[in-house]
Amino acid sequence: MPPMQRDVAEYLLWMQVHNYAQTTIVNRRCYLGYFVCFAEARDVDDVESVNLELLQEYQHQLFEHRKANGLPLSFGTQLQRLVPVTQFFSWLRRSGRIRVNPAADLTMPRPDRRLPEATLTAQEMGALLSIPKIARPLGLRDRAVLEVFYSCGLRRAELIDLAVKDVDFARGTVFVRCGKGAKDRYVPIGERALFWLRLYMELARPRLLADTSSDHLFVTSLGSPLCADWLSRRVRRYLAVARVDKQGSCHLLRHTVATLMLERRRSSNSPVDV
């Protein structure tokens, strides 16, 4: 294994030992792999040979890169690929593996701080919820998924990781394990979402599990946990069938929940005419 790849492997192991989230480790492995390939293509295979000029060249390549659709990488995406590299070299310096951190003087791009343009109206959300065919087990599952998204505003990974025991019907809460930042939290869930969850758990989930056993709340037709990319495609298809012409999928629903909650709060705090 080339020296730089070996150092990356040790860095990722260090992250595991220090209880970094698995998704963070996976992303670091991916983005550091991009940089290692870039460096090795320029005959640089050890960290001591990396200098500020090489890092700036890598940053310029990210800026010039064009996706398959011809569009450039957003500044947020460029930053997402650069941060693991700077963190890696900071770790190398702290652990005494290099004498000087070449990334210390790298000027990072400033990401856009814009809110998402698209959120669903209450009418569009109602149209979306009506699409799944609830007479079928998979349709009933999808209706329950959409209702939980709409009621709780969970992230995609958080919903996928929900276990049956995480739903407290008596208290009206959902326990989210290891959410963003590896933090646990309780989230309130509405009566309507609980109604559809009960139907799904009583009528559909046992049929989907068949001969398999799983603690996951939402499962596929084979009884396995949902796949993140598949779930995004599923939600996007329901949006299309509902004739909602807005970009996004699972995260669009999360922003919709936040926006509608804010609108309701403003409405409830508005002055009353006498």
Tell the residue number behind the tokens 């394990």, with chain if given: 177
Could you read off the pLDDT of 26-65 as tens digits, one per residue?
A: 999 999 999 999 999 999 999 999 999 999 999 999 999 9
pLDDT in tens, 172-222: 999 998 766 667 899 999 999 999 999 999 999 999 987 677 899 999 998
Phi and psi torsions of 216, nearest 5°: -65, 140
For residue 248, the model assigns a pLDDT of 81
Instruction: Supply the pLDDT for residue 264.
Output: 65
Residue 158 backbone dihedrals phi, psi, to 5 degrees: -65, -40
The CATH number of 3-94 is which of 1.10.443, 1.10.3210, 1.10.150, 1.10.3470?
A: 1.10.150
pLDDT reported for residue 38: 97
Contact 195, 166 (CB under 8 A): no
Which pLDDT value is given to residue 238?
A: 94
> ∠ CA(86), CA(89), CA(93), 5° rounding?
135
Residue 27 Cα to chain centre, angstroms? 11
DSSP 217: S
> What CATH number belongs to 122-268?
1.10.443.10
List the domain boundaries for the chain: 3-94, 122-268
pLDDT band at residue 273 under the 50/70/90 scheme: very low
Helix extents (H) in the chain = 3-17, 22-40, 52-64, 75-94, 122-129, 137-152, 156-160, 191-199, 205-209, 228-241, 250-268
Q: Which of 136, 147, 141 has its CA nearest to residue 225?
A: 141
State pTM to two decimals: 0.65
Q: Each residue of 101-152: pLDDT tens digit?
A: 999 999 999 876 665 557 888 899 999 999 999 999 999 999 999 999 999 9
Exposed / middle / buried, residue 252 (Cβ in 10 Å: 0-12, 13-18, 19+):
buried
| pLDDT score at 129 | 95
Q: pLDDT at position 138, please?
A: 96
Mean pLDDT in residue range 237-256: 88
pLDDT in tens, 56-93: 999 999 999 999 889 999 898 999 999 999 999 999 99
